[in-house]
Structure 1
Amino acid sequence: MFFKIFWILRGIIYRPFFGKFKLPSYIGKPVFIGNFKRIFIGKRVRIFPGARIEVIGDNASITFEENISVGQNLHITSGANLIIGKNTTIAEGVMITDIDHDYKDINRHILEQKYILKETKIGENCFIGYGTVIQAGTILGRQCIVGANAVVRGHFPDYSVIVGIPARIIKRYDEESKIWRKTDKKGKFIDER
């Protein structure tokens, strides 16, 4: 618990550089933070050490809403407006981006080709498991659970359990029957017998 005092002090020191940094949030020693002014951190955001948080461009942003816990070694990159919803937990070693690289010109290195930006958003009260990769163009609904090491791209409805490479829905909460039910990979309920 003593080390968190240093993280709070670091947050206070960094606070004027961020677009927003509400207390009592804290941040462990990051690896890199790029474009501080375009990063917005709400109340009670806890970011553990080793984070790489970067915003590319003056019109892009990353928003961490309130009460978010982020494990060690997060890598998050935005070239658009990436949002992490409130009450979300992100485990260790997770990568989140809203940027793809074009690759069509075979005479140019892939990193020299244009960015392809796709809306990416993590809904409220989600859990992102260890080692997950959230790719550009992913929209997670409210209270989605993403299993460890999943590679996620696409739109996923509220209350989905998402696993695998490529990620697919295996279960969703049925609001009518008030139970979690198995689904096919597109998220349609399967009759359980």
Structure 2
Amino acid sequence: MSEPNLIMKSIRLMQFLYNKKIPLLPKIVQWFIRITCSADIPVNISIGKGTVLKHNGLGVVFHEKALIGSNVTIMQNVTLGGRNGRGAPVIGDNVFIGTGACVLGGIIIGKDAMIGANAVVINDVPDKAVVGGIPAKIIRIDDR
């Protein structure tokens, strides 16, 4: 696996400072991320190990209660957000989220799933499924 990029190092630093309850510094790192990458990533976000934000997370927006698993690949301009008070998404391990995708509400994205570019996901996605469209529909489920 390649070296973590600047945004992931910044997020890990922000999480470390937040968990150690060091005042002000997590917010400074958050603003650094916002200015340098145009990304809105809350200080208390939960991101698993091995997760990669491609293109330095350009334009990504994450809900503060979103849970992101391990080894997830997130392309640019992805939104993991709420939906009229219906919670935040939970992303499983080894998921790929394509450019411009919106994953909205308290839904669960299963392990090894793939979300196509510009998809709007408002329903749960099973393990190993490929989804796309507006609203996203299951295109296929890999049985490998």
TM-score normalised by the chain length of structure 2: 0.74
Determine the structure 1 residue equivalent to 2:136: 167
CA deviation profile, 1:109-128 (whole Å, cap 9, x unmatched): xxxxxxx1425201100000
The equivalent position to 1:96 in structure 2, one of 80, 95, 116, is 80
- The equivalences for 1:76-115 within 5 A come to 76-78=62-64, 81-97=65-81, 99-101=82-84
Which AA in structure 1 matches 2:74? I
In the TM superposition, what is the alpha-carbon distance from 1:18 to its structure 2 partner?
Answer: 2.3
In the TM superposition, what is the alpha-carbon distance from 1:163 to its structure 2 partner?
Answer: 0.3
After superposition, the Cα gap between the structure-2 partners of 1:168 and 1:65, relative to the gap in structure 1 and judged at 3 Å, is same
Q: Which stretches of structure 1, 4 residues or longer, exceed 3 Å deviation after superposition?
A: 4-8, 10-16
Question: Does structure 2 retain, via aligned residues, the 8 Å contact 1:150–1:166?
Answer: yes
Q: Which structure carries more strand by proportion?
A: 1
Question: Does structure 2 retain, via aligned residues, the 8 Å contact 1:88–1:127?
Answer: yes
Following the alignment from structure 2 to structure 1, what is the Cα–Cα distance between the partners of residues 123 and 42?
A: 22
Determine the structure 2 residue equivalent to 1:51: 39
Q: Which structure carries more helix by proportion?
A: 2
Which of 1 and 2 has higher RCO (CA within 8 Å, sep 6+)? 2
Structure 1 gaps of 5+ residues are 21-26, 33-47, 56-60, 102-115, 179-193
Question: Does structure 2 retain, via aligned residues, the 8 Å contact 1:119–1:139?
Answer: no
Determine the structure 2 residue equivalent to 1:185: none
Q: In the alignment, is residue 31 of structure 1 matched against residue 34 of structure 2?
A: yes
Structure 2 gaps of 5+ residues are 21-29
Q: CA RMSD in A?
A: 3.0
In the TM superposition, what is the alpha-carbon distance from 1:16 to its structure 2 partner?
Answer: 4.9
After superposition, the Cα gap between the structure-2 partners of 1:5 and 1:62, relative to the gap in structure 1 and judged at 3 Å, is closer
Determine the structure 1 residue equivalent to 2:27: none
Determine the structure 1 residue equivalent to 2:102: 133
Give SS of 1:161's match: strand
